[in-house]
Structure 1
Amino acid sequence: MTQITSPAVELRVLVYSHDAATRSRVISALGPRPHPDLPEVHYTEVATAAVVTRHMDAGGIGLAILDGEAAPTGGLGLAKQLRDELDPCPPILVLIGRADDRWLADWSRADAAVTHPIDPLRLREAVTALLSADR
């Protein structure tokens, strides 16, 4: 898990969805600093699974937010793949279509899940909890 040592540290968050509007809603909901105790966030927007894999393999990502409703590659399957292939793997938050899909988020080994439509408060709380876990 990523450890943040001071609010001055840069945090890179990867946001994956085939839908530019979904990526925009995530970034708008979180803003440049989701919580005063967290560093400023720099976003990497990604629309394809291949580019997600490339960024994650390169390292430097502090959190991945993956859209479970993305097509043709959903964020849930991608989360499972990343967990299986990356060691260490940064925290992963998945966006799920409905609360009943929580079992899929558990199967994917995501660290957290937030339902569509995106609730900015819940998304910020989930991100803050993930990034503050090792502080």
Structure 2
Amino acid sequence: MSFAADNAASPATVLVYSHRAATRDAVRTAVGRRPAADVGPLTWLECVTGDEVIAAVDRGGVDLCILDGEAQPMGGLALARQMDQEVADRPAVCVLIARQADRWLAHWSRAEATLPMPVDPLTAPEVVADLLRQHAQRPVFRR
């Protein structure tokens, strides 16, 4: 079955994490409900704390996490690194960064992608669609 057919049957769940409601809204608005013709529709899950992110990922069913690298008190970079080390089949991860110089931190955190702040509605859907495609094709490993 093709990715598009699989995705049509079950929407992808995208978790967006930030302590700022405006940042979560900006991400949802920039990406939209369907980031590409062969991806979506998306179901959005919003988290305000790092504990909420970990609990949601532990429950399963999250395909992509978009984490605010500037979130307080726990930043998205630290969350990405924690999930990489502690979650056997973690979702794809994209980190929002305020400065391009922070891309090395995103690499350290094991995030698959970054999006600069403010979120660009022309590039964000493409990044999200690519990550969801890659995640759908990734084999499941158990640690």
**TM-score surpassing 0.5?**
yes
Determine which structure has the larger helix proportion and give its number: 2
Q: Percent identity?
A: 47
- The aligned counterpart of 2:22 is 21
Amino acid at match of 2:130: A
Deviations 1:50-103 (A, max 9, x none): 111100000000100000010110000010001111011110000011111000
1:52-131 pair list within 5 angstroms: 52-131=53-132
- Report whether the alignment pairs 1:46 with 2:44: no
Structure with more contact order per residue of length (Cα contacts < 8 Å, sep ≥ 6): 1
Any conservation in 2 of the 1:94–1:113 contact (CA below 8 Å)?
Answer: yes
Write the distance in 1 (CA, Å) between the matches of 2:85 and 2:14.
Answer: 20
Write the distance in 2 (CA, Å) between the matches of 1:89 and 1:121.
Answer: 27
Write the distance in 1 (CA, Å) between the matches of 2:41 and 2:127.
Answer: 16
Helix, strand or coil: the match of 1:43? strand
Question: Which runs of 4 or more aligned residues in structure 1 lie more than 4 Å from their structure 2 counterparts after TM superposition?
Answer: none
RMSD: 1.4
- Report the Cα offset of residue 7 of structure 1: 2.5
- Report the Cα offset of residue 25 of structure 1: 0.4
- Report the Cα offset of residue 113 of structure 1: 0.5
Helix, strand or coil: the match of 1:110? coil
Any conservation in 2 of the 1:14–1:45 contact (CA below 8 Å)?
Answer: yes
Larger radius of gyration: 2
Q: Name structure 1 gaps, 5 residues minimum.
A: none
* Aligned residue pair count: 133
Q: Name structure 2 gaps, 5 residues minimum.
A: 139-143
